[in-house]
Amino acid sequence: MSTSSVPRPPESAAPSGPLRRPGLPRITRRGIPEGALPALALFAAVRLAGVLAVILTNAVRGHPLLRTLAHSWDSRWYLHIAAQGYGHKIWITPQGDVQSDWAFFPLYPGLIRALTTILPFTPGQAALLIAWTAAGVAAYGVYVIGHHLYGRGVATALVALWAALPHSVELTIAYTESLFAALAIWSLYCVLKGRWLWAGVLAALAGLSRPSGFAIAGAVSLAAGYEALRQRGRVPVSLWAGAVLAPLGWLGYVLWVGSRIGDVLGGYFKVQSAWDSRFDFGAGSARFLKALLLHGGGVVYPVALAIVATGVLLFALLCLERPPLVLVVFAGILILLVVGGSGSFSSKPRFLLPAFPLLIPMARALARTWRLRPAHAVVVYGALTVVSLLFGAYVTAVARSPL
């Protein structure tokens, strides 16, 4: 219908009600879920407190204040790749294994290199800026998914719990966890909203950021296959495109490394094997548990075991909640990698950081507690936050265990 046929009031007519301010743009009125800004402010406050706790611990120990944030363990490898490229750094272990920089995926160092090229930042500053920005983007994605599925209360609790995990300090150091989480979480959201092409693109980028990138690739592809089966094949072409794109980032880097070292299919896995990183169906975890029971393990290793065990329990509770399939698959693959993979057990908790769906049962319980007994919810969350800050500062600035 032509707009000229719509009746208009006379120009001289006075408005029938009080004057209203012009409406907000649609992206402001409808694009940002209700309650997102307070939740993100809480996330930023907790993580900023975590950064300050690390800085204070470094000051007490007489260390450079920001060094452990930007130059801890794997951070040094990423910064070296950003500055020199691949194939220029190796480390020979006491056992004679040759560890090379090919084990580290390229997206994070590539972004560091790009940022230092266009802005007057050092590689360490660029690495932290990327990590902190990605952590905020990831937290917003957690809130959006929580709000989409369960509403404002659970979404806020979900973001709050994610900020206060014992190992959440690793969202704000020069590591890939925050970048991978941001890409994977928004890929999951695109699946939930049926935006398959974007889901595949983001999953492919996530696959270029971490070895565990195939977790989101697998989740997107399986969700696409399930949707096609459910709809008896009557699905848009974008679904198939997203399913095909999702694994290309991870697969492309794995094959590229293999071609560089002369073994296309197995080369990357040989590189990872030198880092004692392989899927051994839980044999390494069993050896670790036996050694821990026989000899003890200080603070970091028992806490790491408790975190992984809690993750397994939360996965069982998540399945009882019957959330969307893509969330279950994503969290399940990450749990499987942690429990069934070898490598230092002290690093395993950070591998679970992107698996925020594991927190859904706890978030729903915390939201109920807040409605019924808000004082109890504040005490519980306050205790979790204190533990997170203390443990994060300890593992980053004090402990010598691999992060």
Whether pLDDT at 326 is above 60: yes
Whether pLDDT at 69 is above 80: yes
The pLDDT-based confidence of 342 (bands split at 50, 70, 90) is confident
For the segment 355-367, the average pLDDT, to the nearest whole number, is: 96
Please tell me the pTM assigned to this model.
0.89
Q: How far apart are CA 352 and CA 333, in angstroms?
A: 10
Percent of the chain at pLDDT above 70? 91
Cβ distance 59 to 388 under 8 Å?
A: no
What element of type H or E holds 223? helix 214-230
For the segment 151-175, the average pLDDT, to the nearest whole number, is: 95
For the segment 140-149, the average pLDDT, to the nearest whole number, is: 96
CA 173 to chain centroid: 13
Which phi and psi (to 5°) does residue 175 adopt? -125, 170
Q: How far apart are CA 384 and CA 56, in angstroms?
A: 20
pLDDT at 96: 61
For the segment 77-85, the average pLDDT, to the nearest whole number, is: 92
End-to-end CA distance of the chain: 64
Q: How far apart are CA 132 and CA 168, in angstroms?
A: 12
For the segment 112-129, the average pLDDT, to the nearest whole number, is: 94
pLDDT at 292: 85
| Number of Cβ atoms within 10 Å of the Cβ of 163 | 26
pLDDT at 278: 83
Give the lowest-confidence range in 105-109, 132-136, 263-267.
Answer: 263-267
Contact partners, residue 290, CB within 8 Å, separation at least 6: none
More confidently predicted of 9 and 96: 96
pLDDT at 284: 85
Q: Report how far apart, in Å, the C-alpha atoms of 141 and of each of 69, 181, 199, 252, 363 are.
A: 24, 9, 13, 26, 15
> Within 246-299, where are the H helices?
248-260, 267-274, 283-295
Grouping H, G, I as helix, E, B as strand and the rest as coil, residue 394 is: helix
How does strand 98-100 pair with strand 90-92? antiparallel
pLDDT at 389: 95
pLDDT at 401: 82
More confidently predicted of 373 and 68: 373
Cβ distance 364 to 157 under 8 Å?
A: yes
CB burial of 130-151 (b: ≥16 within 10 Å; e: otherwise) equals bbbebbbbbbbbbbbbbbebbe
What are the pLDDT digits (tens) for 272-313?
Answer: 888 788 888 888 888 888 888 888 778 888 999 999 999 999
pLDDT at 94: 64
Q: How far apart are CA 261 and CA 129, in angstroms?
A: 33
pLDDT at 26: 33
Contact partners, residue 163, CB within 8 Å, separation at least 6: 42, 43, 46, 47, 139, 385, 388
| 174 CB-side CA count, 13 A | 27
pLDDT at 157: 97
For the segment 330-355, the average pLDDT, to the nearest whole number, is: 91
Whether pLDDT at 192 is above 50: yes
